[in-house]
Copies of this chain bind each other. A is one copy, B any other.
Amino acid sequence: MTARRPTIDDVARLSGVARTTVSRVLNDGPNVRDEVRARVMEAVKALDYKVNPQARSLAGGGSRLLGLVFASDLESEPNSFYHSALELGALRGCLELGYQLVTRHIPLQSADRQQQVYDLIAIQRCEGLIFTPPYSDDAPLIAEVLRRGCKVVSISPGGAGRGLADGVGMDDEAGGYDIARRLIELGHRRFAFMGGIEGHLSADRRLDGLMRALQEAGLGQADLIQVRGDFTFRSGVELTPRLLDDPLHPTALVCANDDMAAGALSVVHGRGVKVPQDLSVTGFDDTPVSAIVWPPLTTVHQPLKDMGRRAVALLASRLTGGRSEAEPEFDCLDHAVVERGTAASAP
């Protein structure tokens, strides 16, 4: 009934090596024989040992400070759940791994935005930075930050961000595919898609997935009408009539995010169309709004909290693990279709 958690010395004792060696194994250090490494790992497992992040960071030196960079401005402000969820995940990761976090909102329109990022490194002494879109695709910025010796993780990088630094995100194409598959299973054959602003790669890939599902079902361009919104509730409101009045008479409306779906829903209600009996509507992201509207929105869950946490983990592995010079890696997290009340059998 001893409550004390095992320490590194317990592991060292059990595996018959010095504390130093255990530390090396734990940090993926070099110069440890495989046999010894295995023995240590075994002891770790046997004791259910977990490193004490506090002790590690005390001893490890360095600032142990990470930065989370948002491009908040009036346009992205509404999305504050996005920010909160990412930060929440990042904080959880930091607490687990013994890092500190500073969250910084740097408006895109500020002229010295690069400098503000560099200050995070030079003045605050951040050892790693997490960039959210659109910073996650700012190749010159990322390159310069890396050049200054600061590690980088991009959240949902589109084109430029990939390959330059580590990244975290979900498979948007598969998300679009999955939700479309589900609707096809429910008997839908005529679709409408409400996309996002041009150039937003994430949303475009969602459409790609939808198209793939349609093709697999023997459907094509003729069975789909699409429009582009700007991710806001308002654009959902404005664009929905065009979709409803189209001669195609879609029975399923797939939206590239939840906010637009919510806008669509409000218009549909106003017209007396029953959801989901007459029309199925789906969102994307699984933000709180999806649970708030009526009927609650069937959507695709994007694991924002996990993304934040994974971003920190990637940074940590660059900073202490053996990955410090490894090839950039993209960590693709699982998504899931969340069935609520807006998708049902085609009328």
Cβ distance A72 to chain B, nearest Cβ, rounded Å: 12
Interface size in chain A (residues, C-beta < 8 A): 44
Contact of A84 among B85, B98, B101, B292 (CB under 8 A): B85
Q: Known A52-B58, A55-B58, A84-B84; judge A292-B92 contact (CB<8 A).
A: no
Which of A64, A81, A92, A296 counts the most B-chain CB atoms under 10 A from its CB? Answer: A81
In the complex the two chains form, is B91's CB within 8 Å of A100's CB?
no
* Minimum CB distance partner of A266 in chain B: B266
Chain B interface: which of A40-48, A135-143, A183-191, A283-291? A283-291
In the complex, what distance in Å separates the CA atom of A34 from the CA atom of B58? 32
A287 partner residues in chain B, CB cutoff 8 A: 288
Q: Which residues of A contact B (CB under 8 A)?
A: 3, 52-55, 57-58, 64, 77-81, 84-85, 87-88, 91-92, 94-95, 98, 100-101, 125, 232-234, 237, 259, 262-263, 265-266, 269-270, 287-289, 291-294, 296
A92 partner residues in chain B, CB cutoff 8 A: 91
Q: Known A55-B58, A287-B288; judge A95-B95 contact (CB<8 A).
A: yes
* Minimum CB distance partner of A55 in chain B: B58
* Minimum CB distance partner of A287 in chain B: B288
In the complex the two chains form, is A293's CB within 8 Å of B88's CB?
no
- Number of copies of this protein chain within its complex: 2
A233 partner residues in chain B, CB cutoff 8 A: 292-294
In the complex, what distance in Å separates the CA atom of A88 from the CA atom of B90? 10
In the complex the two chains form, is A237's CB within 8 Å of B294's CB?
yes
* Minimum CB distance partner of A236 in chain B: B294
In the complex, what distance in Å separates the CA atom of A85 from the CA atom of B294? 23
Cβ distance A149 to chain B, nearest Cβ, rounded Å: 14
In the complex the two chains form, is B270's CB within 8 Å of A78's CB?
no
Q: A58-B58, A79-B288, A95-B95 are in contact. List 9 more A-B contacts (CB 8 A).
A: A54-B64, A54-B98, A78-B292, A78-B296, A91-B91, A95-B100, A262-B292, A266-B266, A266-B269
A270 partner residues in chain B, CB cutoff 8 A: 266, 269-270
Cβ distance A265 to chain B, nearest Cβ, rounded Å: 8
In the complex the two chains form, is A289's CB within 8 Å of B291's CB?
no
Cβ distance A113 to chain B, nearest Cβ, rounded Å: 23
In the complex the two chains form, is B78's CB within 8 Å of A294's CB?
no
A53 partner residues in chain B, CB cutoff 8 A: 54
A296 partner residues in chain B, CB cutoff 8 A: 78
